[in-house]
């Protein structure tokens, strides 16, 4: 029987109609949802730290357990600037690193659950399109934020996922709740597409940065961002033609070695607030290591930031770039 990242047995997700969903059986089950051959969402104890949504893109030719990126939940209380960090905080439920995340059929029920007993998600038809919605609950943050996230797949868009944050009544008021793609370094994203055919590169933003921490955020306002109709669209892509052939510094851990086709990663926002900004930060070395990234500094966190709106949705899309 397959096992989770901690070596415990469980039943893998299964194809049910047009969707990949947790198996309809008793016992531990893999928390994984999405398109059988398209984008998929997973939770711990799938590979990686707790406190993060996992984004899988098997259509890029990656192994089943190889994820492309994570999405972290980072709320900021009203009147403050410091974020809570779903990945980095220590759980107050079990004193382990990373906040606990689980799924539920009813997001109003905040009772913590074993993530290996996942909801199968809700299938519905919205505006003539079949959707699969998954409600991901997050334990409360140290800063008083208490939020949950709804993730929605559309049958007609196999390479994207919409995520939206909701604030509970028990939560402090929020300035924003950032849903940030946190692992751009694995794909070595270095070019940001902006309005008017312009681009910003990691090397031009931080030409002299060589530290082992995060370079400061680069911020791009509405007037610098591209539009698709009324939507704001911002994309990050690698600058290597064959990232899977990169040469790595001695000591670079195997899990940082890129596999699969290269792709462009995109955030999209309908009905943008005038104060919306796109942000990226950068790293010269891989996370929690002093191993330099092949080719130099690359984006790590890639996000849209906007004043908090209940249920405000952002769409994350990953499309192959081709040769």
User: Of 149, 182, 215, which closes a domain?
Assistant: 182
Amino acid 6: pLDDT: 87
On the question of pLDDT at 5 being above 90, the answer is no
The boundaries of the domain holding residue 201 are: 184-323
Do residue 129 and residue 234 come from a single domain?
no
Phi (first) and psi of residue 60, to 5 degrees: -90, 5
Count of the separate structural domains present in the chain: 2
Tell me the pLDDT tens digit for each residue of 243-261.
999 999 999 999 999 999 9
38 or 322: which leads in pLDDT: 38
Do residue 122 and residue 193 come from a single domain?
no
C-alpha to C-alpha distance for 195 and 174, rounded to whole angstroms: 30
On the question of pLDDT at 39 being above 90, the answer is yes
Do residue 96 and residue 147 come from a single domain?
yes
Do residue 157 and residue 279 come from a single domain?
no
User: Of 182, 207, 240, which closes a domain?
Assistant: 182
On the question of pLDDT at 112 being above 90, the answer is yes
Amino acid 45: pLDDT: 97
Side by side, the strands of the sheet bearing 32-34 are 14-16, 19-21, 32-34, 40-42, 52-56, 67-77, 174-181, 298-305, 277-283, 214-220
Amino acid 4: pLDDT: 86
On the question of pLDDT at 1 being above 80, the answer is no
Do residue 64 and residue 102 come from a single domain?
yes
188 φψ region: left (φ > 0), alpha (ψ -120 to 50), beta (else): left
Do residue 169 and residue 216 come from a single domain?
no
Do residue 200 and residue 163 come from a single domain?
no
Do residue 172 and residue 225 come from a single domain?
no
């Amino acid at each position: 029987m397959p096992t989770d990242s901690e070596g415990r047995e469980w039943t893998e997700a299964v194809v049910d109609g047009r969707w990949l969903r947790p198996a309809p059986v008793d016992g531990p089950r893999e928390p994984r949802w999405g398109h059988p051959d398209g984008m998929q969402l997973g939770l711990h104890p799938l590979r990686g730290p707790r406190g993060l949504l996992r984004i899988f893109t098997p259509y890029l030719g990656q192994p089943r357990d190889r994820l492309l990126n994570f999405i972290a939940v980072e709320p900021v209380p009203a009147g403050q600037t410091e974020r809570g960090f779903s990945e980095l905080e220590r759980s107050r439920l079990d004193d382990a690193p990373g906040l606990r995340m689980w799924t539920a059929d009813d997001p109003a029920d905040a009772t913590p659950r074993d993530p290996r007993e996942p909801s199968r998600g809700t299938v519905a038809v919205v505006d003539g399109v079949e959707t699969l919605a998954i409600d991901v609950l997050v334990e409360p943050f140290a800063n008083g934020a208490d939020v949950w996230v709804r993730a929605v797949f559309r049958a007609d868009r196999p390479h994207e996922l919409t995520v939206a944050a909701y604030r509970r009544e028990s939560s402090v008021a929020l300035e924003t709740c950032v849903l940030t793609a946190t692992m751009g370094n694995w794909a070595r994203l270095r070019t940001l597409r902006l309005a008017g055919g312009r681009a910003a590169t990691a090397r031009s933003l931080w030409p002299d940065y060589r530290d082992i921490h995060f370079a400061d955020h680069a911020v791009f306002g509405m007037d610098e961002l591209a539009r698709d109709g009324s939507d704001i669209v911002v994309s990050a892509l690698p600058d290597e033609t064959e990232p899977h052939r990169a040469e790595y510094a001695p000591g670079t851990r195997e899990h940082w070695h890129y596999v699969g086709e290269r792709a462009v990663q995109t955030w999209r926002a309908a009905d943008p607030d005038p104060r919306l900004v796109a942000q990226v930060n950068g790293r010269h070395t891989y996370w929690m290591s002093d191993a330099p990234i092949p080719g130099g500094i690359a984006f790590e966190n890639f996000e849209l930031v906007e004043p908090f709106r209940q249920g405000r949705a952002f769409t994350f899309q990953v499309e192959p770039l081709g040769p």
